[in-house]
Amino acid sequence: MKILVIEDEKPLQESISSYFQEDGSRCEVASTFREASEKIGLYQYDCILLDLGLPDGDGLKLLQEIKSLKRKEGVLIISARHSLDDKLEGLDMGADDYLVKPFHLSELRARVAAIVRRKKFDGQQQIVFQEIQIELSSMRVLVHGMPVILTKKEYDLLIYFISNQGKVVTKNAIAEHLWGDDMDLADDYDFIYSHIKNLRRKLTAAGAIEYIHSIYGIGYKFGIL
């Protein structure tokens, strides 16, 4: 998953970020309303963790901004505000869930995973595309029922392609989704070509049809041509 943690309490921000990164998720952080607004305008995420009490603005206004942009990200409010009115207001404005501080990180992860499954795959625990089967909870990939060993980036790339099947995705969109802010450090897109080449090789070696098609000068399209 690719997650944006909007939280001004540095210890909690770092704790959440480290916890999700241990599972292989990609985490970016924002400590202020302005920083969060800039990141939301530039990048896309699977889920946004939103603290309401930001030092330079109200998190509910940021939620309004997210919804006005018609973004597809799930939004989980994490707040010290315990009142039912605050919770109902956040949910009524479009948040997918509301978790009151303090909370267990394991519960936070479970709620985020549920939101992402619901948003991307209608709550499914398993994705099937032709002969390719993906078990989301265990991150297992099978082709014709036989396991295929992928790296974390290759797995993320496959999920991204299947989520966008039939669409042309640019190299920049792939880089931003998989590497986030770090893509700015790259001089070229050779690292994308390498991961896509390896993913193609592993899937076809296992008996899958070639689904990843290069669109000259633009990017890639996943599906049956």
Paired tokens of 206: 């296992």
Burial annotation 190-208 (CB, 10 A radius, 16+ → b, else e): eebeebbeebeebbeebeb
Total residue length of the chain: 225
pLDDT at 131 over 90: yes
Give me the pLDDT at residue 208, please: 93
For the stretch 5-47, pLDDT in tens is 999 999 999 999 998 888 778 889 999 999 999 988 888 888 9
Of 192, 198, 190, 201, the C-alpha closest to 220 is 192
What pTM was estimated for this model as a whole?
0.61
For the stretch 146-187, pLDDT in tens is 999 998 888 888 988 988 888 888 887 787 766 665 555 455
126: left (phi over 0), alpha (psi -120 to 50) or beta: beta
pLDDT at 136 over 90: no
Give me the pLDDT at residue 185, please: 47
pLDDT at 203 over 50: yes
Give me the pLDDT at residue 166, please: 86
Under the banding of pLDDT at 50, 70 and 90, the label for residue 89 is confident
Instruction: Give the percent of the chain with pLDDT over 70.
Output: 92
